[in-house]
Chain A
């Protein structure tokens, strides 16, 4: 058969064109430098309720969808976890008569959420309001993707936030988000086991250790007198062990980045001490280093573990399910500087190409509603309030266990370093802790490798 060079050439040409077209796309999501002109601020402030009527806001969040619990429900007091509480919050806003309708975009699984957000920004398909962890804010704010939140200039009155919450929402001195809560690690205690070990105070209260040695001694006493596992921590497929490592570094007065935030400092004396503490817990048999998140929870609720390192998001669940005398409190200060790892769920307003002041105002009105209902949010979720007034309220402090960890709420909560590439630093820390605690690598070598990895990836 005769060859058809034209057809084959044409096909190759089309294929090349399509390939180039695919590669040529993806222009920069925003050309702004991140600042808001006085003119735009004035336009946002001048938006009227009539202009807001009929506005639809796309909101991206990672709380999951649970329509079976939230369909038609607007009473926030019915929330029992993050999923249904947030769903009810949105329902309540949509029913509040502002004329603005919030449409939740498809919620991604927690582990894939930021992938979906990054892709949406790259394709200029981002939602109007985007939730993220405060630790991720620095990855987006400097790129001009987010609206700086100067609610006063925009004519939106929002309640005052706690210092920790404000810090979580601020990058380089500019607030880029509205914080919703503080999610901090606590120590959760089975007082019955501690009573059996005879380590409680005379009035039956928990006596927090004041040094690493005291903590290990406490574990030893619990194990010898009760046979129970003294301490619980998720090591496998979870960040808990890394978060305890970070907490230990900060409690010693150390840090994981330089003062100017330009470079990681992973291989330090404080880090060595922190890793040694984790390994001592493992080597002495005080902790199960094969436990994942679910296992550590199960062991605690089954009464097999005396104390567990877990966050405020579990307080409501532990309080309702524990069949023993349950107590949650601030993680003990073992090295002198009270600190514990925390993060924050923060809400950002994505810049759009037109800088539409009506959209921005609508987003801020929604976030104002969320903030005004901060009390309902923390009641349903167990998280620490971001709003000062809520934190100080009797209503909040009367909720189960909340009054026991006010120090965390007011001062101890330590946010991750607000650096652009925090994900790289976190990954390096996790690798180092995992290598040492699970893979048997010498802790000094593990920290050296983690430092090298952090240095390589940090600047990308």
Chain B
């Protein structure tokens, strides 16, 4: 039994309690320091390739032929970036990427949101089977279907066009899954209450479900943007006209054999140019992306 110390003033904690509190506070601070140091280390390790790429992009090709292992630019230059933008088609490739990516993102979001709502909320015959078929698409890599897809597009004479670059990419099984998961978590009472008030299915979808789905839609849009911007293989095989390249195969087409040894700075600068829009989008919208993923996982 703890004896009361009669010398302690009322309201003041006993010395033994104060010691415990001080030790707990020190443990918490130490724990926080260890945690933050660990996180910073992991973040730095993750960032090293990116920093290295930027460092090389700011170094001359000549200096990199002798030493490419420094995180600090050797023989600093902006010529690699100037040369990347000086190539006459780079602007056109950027425009193509913007058009294709924006269209793909919008259409993917529209299609997947509609499909997700239908699978989650609309009872119809064959829903389970159809949903399983859609999810089955997650297991088929795109590379396995691109030759028949290429032939299909060739048969309608659509290669080297925007529709050929956009349409094959909008039916995203993962997007349908994400939106179905989200809508399935929305209590049915929301839609029932609206219908009792006379709302039809479309009204329920547009005025109740869509606003609720904003975080999930944003995260799907960001993912679709990243996938589409980084898409390389399909534009590579579908496009033979250089003016119709998107930025990723366009920049890659500038790479010579053995360029890794000779033109490292130029290659890295082009990589930074190609990756920059995706990084910017992610930095601006990362909070929405994380929130959207959290919501679709079922956490509230």
Chain A residues near B (Cβ < 8 Å) = 1, 3-5, 7-9, 11-12, 15, 21-23, 25-27, 58, 62-68, 71, 81-83, 104-110, 112, 115-116, 119-120, 122-125, 127, 292-294, 297-298, 301-302, 313-314, 317, 321
Contact = CB atoms under 8 A, between A and B. Distances in A.
Interface range on chain B: under 10, 10 to 19, 20 to 34, or 35 or more? 35 or more
Nearest to B149: A22
7 contacts: A8-B125, A8-B130, A12-B126, A66-B256, A106-B253, A110-B256, A313-B257
A106 B147 contact: no
A220 B159 CA distance: 59
B67 interface: yes
Given A1-B201, A83-B256, A109-B252, 18 more contacts: A8-B130, A21-B152, A25-B155, A26-B148, A66-B254, A67-B88, A105-B240, A106-B245, A110-B256, A115-B233, A115-B236, A122-B150, A294-B68, A294-B260, A297-B261, A298-B66, A298-B68, A321-B62
B65 A125 contact: no
B155 A106 contact: no
> Secondary structure at chain B's binding surface: helix, strand, loop or mixed?
helix
A377 to B, nearest CB: 14
Nearest to A106: B242
Given A108-B249, A125-B159, A294-B68, A25 B152 contact: yes
A21 B66 CA distance: 54
A119 B154 CA distance: 11
A116 B125 contact: no
A3 B241 CA distance: 48
Contacts of A67: 87-89
B5 to A, nearest CB: 68
Contact of B154 (A68, A109, A124, A293): A124
A83 B237 CA distance: 21
Interface in B253-267: 253-262, 264
Contact of A119 (B88, B125, B146): B146
B81 to A, nearest CB: 13
B203 interface: no
Nearest to B147: A122
Contacts of A115: 233, 236-237
Contact of A301 (B66, B149, B239): B66
B256 A302 contact: no
A127 B159 CA distance: 14
B256 A116 contact: no
A81 B237 contact: no
A182 B244 CA distance: 34
B132 interface: no
Contacts of A297: 65, 261
A26 B262 CA distance: 39
User: Which of B87, B123, B154, B261 has the most chain A CB within a 10 Å cutoff?
Assistant: B261
A8 B152 contact: no
B87 A68 contact: yes
Contacts of A106: 236, 239-242, 245, 249, 253
Contacts of B239: 106
